[in-house]
Structure 1
């Protein structure tokens, strides 16, 4: 389907036969209909832009005719006469100029963002570029509305795991407060809580920057950034507990009790306190399901360690058993 006929159709100046041709083309496939809708949006937007633009239709057509006249004067075979098509070529020439103005306007206009939030449930979403993001509970982020060419994300709060579609020409950038995380194609976990950003790399390489400072993280490495201080801490990731909201398991492997309490507090939205400092570094070796109740999981953790847990209003206090 040529653009000149579509322009005539939009102007309602097609003959009955031409209108039938366009309708048949539209009904032939969903992709044709999608192309026409986009074509129509540009056309309608061009009307608004034309009032603000300095482009003069007659001048554009005059330049167009001069170019075609030059082409006619140059050696070479003349394929067909342009005379019959001149009205529609004029429209097409103006349309191309306005469409170009629209493209520039689209690039220079402020980028809007689409919000994603998980609420009380874990949420898995497919982004427009084919990348996958899994949001932990109470996480919130937003991604650029033109994400297919501008892979920009803002993580406002919480935790998310990204499995990024590989594309060297368009880096994938996540902004967390003043921290930027840049990747091409990899998988990693980002957590933003209480003014602290944590990035853990599962596959590939991730670049993390704050101001002029930048570090590269490889598989199995993590960075912790205190956003207020601007200080980086890079280290090997020592456990798989960051992954509990995707794996549905708490994998405790020589895990200190204080670390187990930290993760359980996050997962269950509770406040577990270790009253006795002597027990905080006792280690745990077990795997528990996230779907089990907190009381059940605490009993599995505490019984072998001779620890008791007592509920005190909104708190759960862990202490040595009194014998």
Structure 2
């Protein structure tokens, strides 16, 4: 019997990422994950944003190197030229096959990513849409999407508008959280401490899956209706629901900001979320100053100039690092 504590089933983890595990394989992977806390940590690392690409490369490289080592061991004994040619050809074919598999897999899994101060709209094969906020990334398997509407939010924030299809639910995986939906619109935001889901229309199920494997039942979950928010605490592993929604929910999409006696630190947090703006306050007491203003479809430079003028502050820009400084 395999030692689940020492053997890492790269092929099963990769198969789960690409959604092509059989029932038996899924059970084998689940058994390995549950075998120890160390296995769960390894699994979560490999399922991370960087880990998924590293896993693909490492697993294929491991197979190729194993083939070389096996062949080299056989070559210790004297061999004929014919055997040498046969082995060399077989190894070359294996390497070519491995490279072909890498290229094929990379072409079937589509990744969309945004940079600093960039948003992007994505139209999925079923005409559902995703609006990506800055510094965000999603992925999906284009060859399997019509059978399994499954998206991964790898980092950042995205707004999903889902085409109704009762036969095929729409799933978004982010960390150990699965958002299940049939046809609605909702926003998902993830950071190091929390995963937040806000429903605009329809309803969704927000579920915690310790291993990320969808076959596990009886997992903690909440049902969220329109104008409700679910928050998953990564530390406590708990999901809570509330109707107390943050102001300016869609501001990063429509660039419409409205403030009434709003503390400056909240304004600056909105600018960081929407534009990626970095602002240094020369005096920490500035953060409690309040702003009343309507700021629609303006650039970050225009907004900060209005903020500075309204609060009787001076605005300076460090162009090299794109940092703004507010001082007296």
Q: Smaller-chain TM-score range?
A: 0.5 to 0.7
- Unpaired runs of 5+ in structure 2? 1-104, 210-218
C-alpha deviation, 1:290, in angstroms: 4.5
* 1:124 match: 121
- What CA distance in whole angstroms lies between the structure 2 residues aligned with 1:246 and 1:268? 10
Contact 1:239/1:253 (<8 A) preserved: no
* 1:268 match: 275
- What CA distance in whole angstroms lies between the structure 1 residues aligned with 2:205 and 2:294? 32
3-state SS of 1:263 partner? helix
Higher RCO, 1 or 2 (CA under 8 Å, sep at least 6)? 2
- What CA distance in whole angstroms lies between the structure 2 residues aligned with 1:285 and 1:304? 8
Cα-to-partner distance string for 1:66-96 (whole Å, 9 max, x where unaligned): xxxxxxxxxxxxxxxxxxxxxxxxxxxxxxx
Structure 1 residues 221 and 254 mapped into 2: Cα distance closer, same or farther (>3 Å)?
Answer: farther
Contact 1:199/1:223 (<8 A) preserved: yes
Contact 1:258/1:280 (<8 A) preserved: yes
| Structure having the higher Rg | 1
Are 1:224 and 2:222 an aligned pair?
A: no
Q: Select 2:147's aligned residue among 141, 146, 149.
A: 149
Q: Where does 1:181-260 land on structure 2 (aligned, <5 Å)? A: 181-211=179-209, 212-235=219-242, 236-240=244-248, 242-260=249-267
Which contiguous aligned blocks of 4+ residues in structure 1 show a shift greater than 6 angstroms? none
- RMSD over aligned CA atoms reads 2.8
Structure 1 residues 127 and 280 mapped into 2: Cα distance closer, same or farther (>3 Å)?
Answer: same
Q: With structure 1 as the length reference, what TM-score do the two structures score?
A: 0.57
Equivalenced residue count is 209
Are 1:285 and 2:285 an aligned pair?
A: no
C-alpha deviation, 1:284, in angstroms: 2.8
Are 1:299 and 2:305 an aligned pair?
A: yes
- Unpaired runs of 5+ in structure 1? 1-109
Contact 1:258/1:274 (<8 A) preserved: no
